[in-house]
Structure 1
Amino acid sequence: MGISIVIMEQMLQLFLIMVMGGVIVKTGVLKGQDSHILSAVTLYLISPCVILEAFQVDYTLRVRNGLLLALGAAVIIHILILLSLPVLGRIFRLDAVEKASIAYSNSGNLIIPLVTAALGKEWVIYSSAFLSVQLFFMWSHGKMLLCGEKKIALRKIFSNINMIAVIAGAVLFISGCRLPSLVRGAMDSAGKMIGPMSMLIAGMLIGDMSLKKVFSYRRLGLITFLRMIVFPALSLAILKYSPLAGLTEDGFTILLITLLAVITPTASSITQMSQIYGKNAEYASVINAATSVVCMVTMPLMVFLYQL
């Protein structure tokens, strides 16, 4: 139960930051649209710093094997979700924002602070595997959903600053090269802002809406249920009852990190991408807020069930 309690405390802290974002808009200090600038800073500056810093660990066979396990588990989970999405889309008539919100978790913004608090900084490297897989799918499949593009442009995917950070981080990890301590210190400081900044953005967007507007989204309960209960339960079953954990040392804990990445709320990046690509960012932020509230119960519960 120890890890579950730590996760609940972390989520409560982030939720309070989201409330702060709403307050500074409601009091007129900032406007909701000002969050657009913060979204760009988070996507194109803070996120790459987080990715690069995660790879700055010593290369060993134990870490390599753990990364391969985490990578394989992340691919399996994403394939399961993306194969299920068209079926759910037809059944429930999901729009682009709803599909993207269901498919992509807030692992990019929350997994590192959660893993650091619950397990320790030495385990953060394994979260990079899930981040790498999700980044690829988010900037290919996710971008296609939100932009209305029909084809995957690999050049655009691999020229994205976040994918560049993944590739650069992997090269540095395999080669054993370390960035200067001054640079690492700056990236570490910037990376620590990712969770609070993302919740602040969501709060600012919600603060620009009336409660009547929030509750006007009648499908919010359905999307929250699919995002926070259905896919986490399926992922929990796969990670807990498959033979994956036995493939490498520390497999059980590494798959716990994968589970943590899956069961986080809807990705804040969906809100930020919706802003950038002209979709319904308000709806995306409401889904993010709702799942952030619900996850304070569902995340500790899923972790507890995994550890039973």
Structure 2
Amino acid sequence: MISLLLIKQITELFLVMFMGFILVKTHLLKAEESKTLSAVALYLIMPCVIINAFQIKYTESIRNGLILAFVAAVLIHVVLLILVKMLGMIFNLDAVEKASMIYSNAGNLIIPIVTSVLGKEWVIYSSAFISVQLFLLWTHGKMMLCEEQKVDLKKILLNINMITIFLGILFFVTKVQLPDIVIKTMESVSVMLGPISMIIMGMLIGNMSFKQIFAYKRIYIVTFLKMIVCPFIILILLKYGGMASLLSDGKVILLISLLATITPSASAVTQMAQIYGKNEEYASVINAITTIVCIITMPIMVWMYQM
């Protein structure tokens, strides 16, 4: 049932992405103008989503669920780091390919998907994966792409999403409830995350030609490894690792972790590649192709998990 709902939700998001594609192809907007929407999503919508997710009643069940979600997120990333290192030696993967395989677009996609498929009360567990990935992205991911060993902890801790996660947890643990009008306002803003994120993706894809996309011969193997091999190994780990039996809601919480893992490659990798002088066009192509492929692979992985 969940896999069918997921197909419906991903199809809806894909149609919104197509709208962004059309906006660029008809020259109503330029692809560069997607940066403005990215800023709105990053600095306004995402913080509202995260804070709103933690505005629920504190219970021991939710606390334990969060702990399980954090443990699963750390374990998943450790496995991915080791797996991609091994695959890198076999397939001679470069920095952009490795980063695209490790880091997923969970920040943009997982929250709207979880909200639509499972319900907004489950969104709180997705914050665990997002926070672990953000930390690793700005440490390991940055070092890999800019080829330096220095870690900027200040930049990590002052990342707007990390700050809002810390605030959300603080409000949750101290049982602070924001005024109803504030919560309603944040809920109104939060529903925009999925559509805006997909419009941005569509605009970026709209700026590419098919010749550009298929000029990269390695895109097929990278997509296969990112969207099938890595997700399948994580699926096996979560399904048969025994963690789901630790809590009554364990299977659903781990499903959220799986959903976050099997989303397309992170758009943040493209942004970092641009900043640090790597092949940002190739990073964009990987992001675009994995986004299209996820329409098929995500429901299949969820169906296999639920079998």
Inter-partner Cα distance in structure 1 for 2:96 and 2:301: 25
Alignment partner, residue 177 of structure 2: 178
Cα distance in 2 for residues equivalent to 1:241 and 1:121: 27
Which residue of structure 1 lines up, in the alignment, with residue 134 of structure 2? 135
- Give the aligned partner of residue 27 of structure 1: 26
Return the letter of the residue paired with 2:110: I
Q: Does the 8 Å contact 2:114/2:120 carry over to 1?
A: yes
The amino acid of 2:60's aligned partner reads L
Give 1:17 deviation, angstroms: 1.7
Instruction: Say whether the 8 Å CA contact 2:65–2:247 is kept in structure 1.
Output: yes
Offset of residue 276 of structure 1: 4.9
Rounded to whole Å, the distance in 1 between the matches of 2:213 and 2:148 is 29
Task: Map 1:43-54; keep pairs closer than 5 Å.
Answer: 43-54=42-53
Match of 2:115 in 1: 116
Select between 114-123 and 84-93 the one with higher mean Cα deviation.
Answer: 84-93
Offset, 1:146: 3.3
Displacement, 1:30?
1.3
Residue in 2 aligned with 1:75?
74
| 2:235/2:305 contact within 8 Å kept | yes
Aligned to 1:97: 96
Matched position secondary structure for 1:202: helix
Q: Deviations over 1:265-291 (max 9, x none)?
A: 112333344445554333223222211
How far residue 258 of structure 1 moved from its aligned partner, in angstroms, is 1.1
Counterpart CA distance in 2 for 1:78 and 1:159 is 22
Partner of 1:286: 285
Compared with structure 1, are the counterparts of its residues 280 and 227 closer, same or farther at alpha carbon in structure 2 (3 Å cutoff)? same
CA contact (8 A) 1:106 1:267 kept: yes
**Equivalent residues of 1:43, 1:269 under 8 A apart:** no
Q: How does 1:261-276 map to 2 (within 5 A)?
A: 261-276=260-275
How far off its partner does 1:46 sit?
2.3
Q: Distance in 1 between matches of 2:98 and 2:40?
A: 25
What do the CA deviations read for 1:211-258 (whole angstroms, capped 9, x no partner)? 111111111111111111111111111111011111122111111111
Q: CA RMSD, aligned part only?
A: 1.7
CA–CA distance in structure 2, aligned partners of residues 109 and 71 of structure 1: 19
Pairing 1:295–2:287 present: no
State the one-letter code of the partner of 1:202.
Answer: M
The CA distance in 2 between the partners of 1:90 and 1:33, in whole Å, is 35
Q: Match of 1:207?
A: 206
| TM-score normalised according to structure 2 size | 0.94
Runs of 5+ unmatched residues, structure 2 = none
Question: Tell me, which stretches of 5 or more residues in structure 1 are unaligned?
Answer: none
Partner of 1:236: 235
Q: Contact conserved, 1:36 with 1:272, CA < 8 A, in 2?
A: no
TM alignment of 1:236-255, pairs within 5 A? 236-255=235-254
